[in-house]
Amino acid sequence: MSDNTIVKHEQGLEQLKQLVTDSLTSLNSRVAYDKALTDFLAWYQSTGQRGLIKATVAEYKTYLQGLGYAPSTINQRLSAIRKLAIEAADNGLMDAQLANGVARVKGVKSSGVRTGNWLTKDQAQRLLDAPDITTLKGLRDRAILAVMLGAGLRRSEVAALTFEHIQQREGRWVIVDLIGKGKRVRTVPIPSWAKQAIDEWTQTAGISEGRIFRAVNKGDRLAGESLTSQAVQDVVKLYAKQCGFELAAHDLRRTFAKLARKGGADLMQIKLTLGHKRVETTELYLGENQDLTSAPCDVLGLKLYQ
């Protein structure tokens, strides 16, 4: 079967995408790769490309750059396409030499370190207050936001949170044995207001075991025993939009770190809470090496007189 055939038959495309996503262990990676490949194949078909070759992928890279995507986003999408080509070759759907050509398409270099996004204390409070807590969904969503702002959890960690994780240690509530990135296990203290938000959600929902966060249907009733990490992302984006913020779920983790540091928390304790392997990663979250409050440009002594 030629490489052209891959992109002409919808069933074959879906089978290839499935091969790629099935080879991934991380749920987040599966979702990201599926999205990347869906977008690429839609572009491929709409532009009338003639083959899944190196030149085609290079053209797509230029297309993504023209849309203003960040280097990290483009590189992730290119990784998914490379994986697609490899799976196609391994399954006899594409010439191995052509697949190797696709694999040699270089990614986009990042210029410096992105500062990222975070909320001020007042903005974070607005976000936390945004859900309508007269509804079951609103109570759940407030609890999700409370855990993310109050403990700095990743969205995948929020989705995986169980009642067994919430325990008391040394007179306070903590999340114990939380498995994070790199399979690192940590204990995460949570503030009393986050525990209160969890309790009000779970008591109203009538649940006391298993996953803490679960799907709620349009009738404002429980609709399952779990929640995906993408659903957690959707919750954040929903209320961020209501508040007029441009925000992703990971920005709440950064907000936690920023507010904790400004409140006087020790850098090493923030590192332990976030589960970072290196303190340098925590410093990047905090911008420790760059003071945006008292910057060099503030002392230049220049002004506009007209």
Q: Tokens 């607005």: give the residue.
A: 126
- Please give the positions annotated as active site: 154, 181, 250, 253, 276, 285
Cα–Cα distances (Å) from 194 to 22, 127, 235, in that order, read 36, 14, 16
Cα–Cα distances (Å) from 221 to 198, 225, 245, in that order, read 17, 12, 28
Q: How far apart are CA 52 and CA 17, in angstroms?
A: 14
Helices (H), the chain: 3-6, 10-22, 27-46, 54-66, 71-90, 96-103, 121-129, 136-151, 155-160, 192-205, 229-243, 249-262, 267-274, 279-286
Amino acid at 170: E
Q: How far apart are CA 53 and CA 78, in angstroms?
A: 13
Gyration radius of the chain's alpha carbons: 23
Q: Which residues pair with 211 in a beta bridge?
A: 162
Q: Which residues pair with 173 in a beta bridge?
A: 168
| 96 CA to centre of own chain | 33
How many CB atoms neighbour CB 94 within 10 A?
26
Please give the helix or strand (H or E) that residue 177 lies within, else none. Answer: strand 172-179
The answer to whether 147 touches 153, Cβ cutoff 8 Å, is yes
